[in-house]
């Protein structure tokens, strides 16, 4: 029961952190090109940050329950002083910054990007990769940073397909594609590095629960990457001259992409809660 709750809290943490921090990063990088769609960004940043706060508190409470359920000073200081507590501190600080500056104009973007950075940095200090060494933790952090930007940008691009037309939509999608190529390359490189760090290839890894869940996750991720490639190569070039039809198809395809990313993130929360690369 506690494990199921922990997996659910992890899923909520991923959803909140990736959408909240990701929307802050995507908003900062796509900037003016978002036009009227920029009005959606504060809502995504704020709801992602709120979810991060809730999930982070829930994770601490669940860990205390797993350690015996006592709110005694030694248990609390063991939790707060450990990697989960450190990560929760970063998530808390980052989410508060995101919430406080979700709507701000001008320099507020620096506070939002810093807040998102703190939330993402929490993945460098807690988790399977962080348990190996700091460098592996940083690789996990880069992986999460890339997935956050990608999801945040898709959440903004989706309403843009309805709100923007012609050259404005074309320019936004091209700006997104340019940044996405670099971001997704980093996501993939970091993912491969994580596999090389965490998986022990001398022990038929694909027979272990960790190996099998990881294989499911990577298969789902391959589907998302295929769809992203289809959008970039087939749909994006049609936007300028195909008018509304290509935008409607792109919007549907982005909805499917977001749904598949949700499936990858669900598989990841199962992977990081129920299985271990060492058993
Ligand atoms: C849509 C694409 C993807 C998303 C949304 C995604 C998301 C994530 C997230 C949120 C984490 C958790 C980090 C943590 O809690 O420390 C993670 C870990 C990981 N990802 Fe991905 N990922 C994607 C694609 C990939 C790909 C393509 C690979 C492999 C090439 C990969 C390999 C891994 C590995 C090995 C881990 C570490 C799991 C562990 O800590 O045991 N991911 N991913």
Each residue's pLDDT tens digit, 155-169:
999 999 999 888 899
Confidence of residue 201 (pLDDT cuts 50, 70, 90): confident
154 lines ligand 1 (CB under 6 A): no
Query: Does some domain include residue 49?
Result: yes
CATH of the domain at 91: 1.20.1630
Q: Residue 114 C-alpha to ligand 1 middle, in angstroms?
A: 22
Tens digits of per-residue pLDDT, 120-139? Answer: 999 999 999 999 999 999 99
Measured distance CA(232)–CA(14) in Å, rounded: 26
Q: Residue 190 C-alpha to ligand 1 middle, in angstroms?
A: 9
pLDDT at 81: 86
The ligand 1 atom at the shortest distance from the C-alpha of residue 18 is 10
Q: Residue 220 C-alpha to ligand 1 middle, in angstroms?
A: 11
Cα angle at 4 between 13 and 208, to 5 degrees? Answer: 95
- Mean pLDDT for the stretch of residues 143-151: 98
Number of domains in the chain: 1
Percent of the chain with pLDDT over 70: 99
Query: Does some domain include residue 279?
Result: no
236 token code pair: 């994006």
Measured distance CA(141)–CA(37) in Å, rounded: 28
Query: Does some domain include residue 51?
Result: yes
pLDDT at 93: 98
109 pLDDT more than 70: yes
First to last CA, the chain: 21
- Decide: 206 and 219 in contact? Cβ < 8 Å: no
pLDDT at 165: 83
The ligand 1 atom at the shortest distance from the C-alpha of residue 14 is 10
The conformation of residue 69, written as its DSSP 8-state character, comes to S
Confidence of residue 205 (pLDDT cuts 50, 70, 90): low
Distance between alpha carbon 148 and the CA centroid of its chain, in Å? 4
**Closest residue by CA, ligand 1 atom 42:** 191
Measured distance CA(152)–CA(154) in Å, rounded: 6
What is the full DSSP assignment across the chain? -HHHHHHHHHHHHHHHHHHHHHHHHHHHHHGGGGGGGGGGHHHHHHHHHHHHHHHHHHHHHHHHHHTTS---HHHHHHHHHSHHHHHHHHHHHHHHHHHHTSS--TTHHHHHHHHHHHHHHHHHHSSHHHHH-HHHHHHHHHHHHHHHHHHHHHHHHHHHHHH--HHHHHHHHHHHHHHHHHHHHHHHHHHHHHHHHH--TTS-GGGSHHHHHHHHHHHHHHHHHHHHHHIIIIIGGGHHHHTHHHHHHHHHHHHHHHHHHHHHHHHHHHHHHH--TT-
pLDDT at 1: 81
Confidence of residue 245 (pLDDT cuts 50, 70, 90): confident
The ligand 1 atom at the shortest distance from the C-alpha of residue 192 is 30
Residue numbers of the domain that contains 211: 2-274
243 pLDDT more than 70: no
- Mean pLDDT for the stretch of residues 188-216: 90
198 lines ligand 1 (CB under 6 A): yes
User: Among 6, 128, 194, which is best to mutate for testing ligand 1, by the most ligand atoms less than 8 A from CB?
Assistant: 194
166 token code pair: 């012609």
Q: What is the pTM of this model?
A: 0.94
3-state secondary structure 113-124: HHHHHHHHHHHH
Q: Residue 188 C-alpha to ligand 1 middle, in angstroms?
A: 9
- Decide: 137 and 193 in contact? Cβ < 8 Å: no
């Amino acid at each position: 029961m506690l494990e199921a709750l922990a997996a659910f809290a992890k899923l909520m943490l991923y959803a909140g952190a990736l959408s909240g921090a990701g929307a802050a990063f995507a908003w900062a990088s796509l900037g003016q090109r978002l036009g009227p769609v920029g009005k959606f960004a504060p809502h995504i940043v704020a709801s992602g940050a709120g979810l991060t706060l809730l999930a982070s508190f829930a994770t601490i409470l669940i860990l205390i329950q797993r350690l015996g359920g006592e709110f005694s000073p030694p248990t609390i200081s063991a939790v707060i002083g450990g990697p989960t507590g450190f990560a929760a501190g970063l998530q808390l600080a980052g989410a508060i910054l995101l919430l406080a500056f979700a709507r701000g104009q001008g320099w507020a973007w620096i506070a939002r990007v810093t807040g998102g950075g703190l939330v993402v940095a929490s993945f460098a200090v807690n988790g399977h990769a962080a348990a190996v060494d700091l460098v592996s933790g940083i690789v996990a952090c880069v992986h999460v940073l890339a997935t956050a930007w990608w999801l945040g940008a898709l959440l903004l691009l989706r309403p843009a397909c309805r709100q923007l037309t012609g050259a404005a939509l074309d320019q936004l999608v091209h700006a997104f594609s340019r940044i996405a190529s670099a971001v997704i390359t980093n996501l993939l490189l970091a993912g491969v590095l994580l596999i090389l760090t965490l998986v022990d290839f001398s022990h038929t890894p694909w027979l272990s629960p960790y190996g099998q869940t990881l294989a499911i996750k990577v298969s789902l991720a391959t589907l998302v990457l295929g769809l992203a490639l289809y959008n970039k190569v087939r749909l994006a070039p049609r936007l300028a001259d195909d008018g509304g039809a290509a935008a409607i198809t792109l919007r549907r395809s982005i909805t499917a992409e977001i749904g598949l990313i949700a499936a990858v993130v669900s598989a990841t929360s199962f992977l990081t809660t129920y299985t271990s690369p060492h058993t």
